[in-house]
Amino acid sequence: MKQLLVLLSLIFSSQLAALPIPAAPDLEAKSYHMIDFHSGEVLASKNADLKLAPASMTKIMTALIVFREVNQGNLNLDEKVRISEKAWRTPGSRMFIEVNKFVTIDELLHGMLVQSGNDATVALAEHIAGDEATFSKLMNQVAQQLGMANSHFTNSSGLPDDKHYSSARDLAILTHALIKESPALYKINAIKEYTYNGITQQNRNKLLWRDDSVDGVKTGHTEDAGYCLVSSAVRDDMRLISVVMGTDSIAARNNVNQALLNYGYRFYTTHLLYKSQQTLADARVWKGAQQQLPVGLAEDLYLTVPRNQYKHLDASLELLPQLIAPIKKNQTVGTAIIKLKSDTVATRPLVALQDIAEGSLMQVLKDKALLMFE
């Protein structure tokens, strides 16, 4: 009887391990797109390239440009900005800055990202580019650099304009850049409320209260755009970015984002397979000052796989048949191939991790002779 129970237990465990991963949910929104931050793997997508009004999610692009200016030393967070009449008069959500007053970059960033202030956004755009029209040109240049193929910006805040649009995929690309380039400044997006000029306003991203793993990013709403939200969360060092566009209520945009995040974390895991510059193998080098070349990857390799499938990953390294010196660091010398069971799920170039100069005349002649027998 005991043996039968053990057998039944093994069969039951096997059945649990074999449970399939369900397809991503089909949710009520015009468009959505969810990716893993580290691997870039797409875990759920619907009409991801559909051009739609991004509303205040536009402010993610404005934030990226401001963050870059701060990181490059062109702006200081304590730097003061004189508020123009245009910024003061900008309609929509407001930080309640006053015309001709001076407000710091730091205050304006909080007003833009926490309070979604259109006035603060225009003030930042004017301070960087002189006027909002010129700033919009800069936004489009950055979008092109990032590969945002379905986006065009005509203003810094997301006010309605037929020529102002983006897509769920593009906003995921944009958000990835924001978090990767400026992790410290990105934390502003997690602040739940901010007080300026005696007025306290709450962050419109209600997932910050509902899910402790959520730390951003930006809501949006206009009559044309509907209710939108770019969210990002971290659970067990796995960060997901979820973009939802065109729902019919605040509750709907929260629910769709939450459903996507829960799906991603429930059924997938992300692993760091290899670090950049980690030696994965030593390759034979001919006619060089040394015979052994450490090889590895130029960038970290993260892989997102269905939960409980990590043990089925298999890595193989394919080196070029003959490596002849001189060899430069980061020169491609082969390919790393990652398979999940029989399916190839990732390939990356293997690169030289150091320079190898050409060897002495004696070494060159010796290796030349040996190569004749290879």
Q: Kindly give the pairing relationship between strand 281-286 and strand 323-324.
A: parallel
Which one from 31, 39, 59, 157 is the annotated catalytic residue? 59
Q: Phi, psi at residue 175, to the nearest 5°?
A: -65, -40
Instruction: Tell me: cis bond preceding 326? Omega within 30 of 0 counts.
Output: yes
Which one from 39, 56, 136, 151 is the annotated catalytic residue? 56
Instruction: Tell me: cis bond preceding 122? Omega within 30 of 0 counts.
Output: no
Nearest to 354 by CA among 320, 328, 334, 326: 328
Burial 39-66 (b: 16+ CB within 10 A, else e): bebebbbbbbebebbbbbbbbbbbbbbb
Quick check: is 39 catalytic?
no
Count how many Cα atoms sit within 13 Å of the Cα of residue 203 in the half-sphere of its side chain: 25
Alpha-carbon distance of 95 to 199, in angstroms, equals: 8
Quick check: is 56 catalytic?
yes
Q: Is 27 exposed, middle or buried (0-12, 13-18, 19+ CB in 10 A)?
A: middle
Contact 124, 81 (CB under 8 A): yes
Which one from 39, 93, 116, 156 is the annotated catalytic residue? 116
Q: Beta partners for 316?
A: 337
Nearest to 301 by CA among 264, 353, 330, 338: 338
Quick check: is 342 catalytic?
no
Helices within 32-117 (DSSP H only): 59-71, 85-89, 105-113
Contact 58, 164 (CB under 8 A): yes
Nearest to 118 by CA among 154, 83, 89, 157: 157
For helices 118-129 and 105-113, give the axis angle rounded to 10 degrees: 140
Show which residues are catalytic. 56, 59, 116
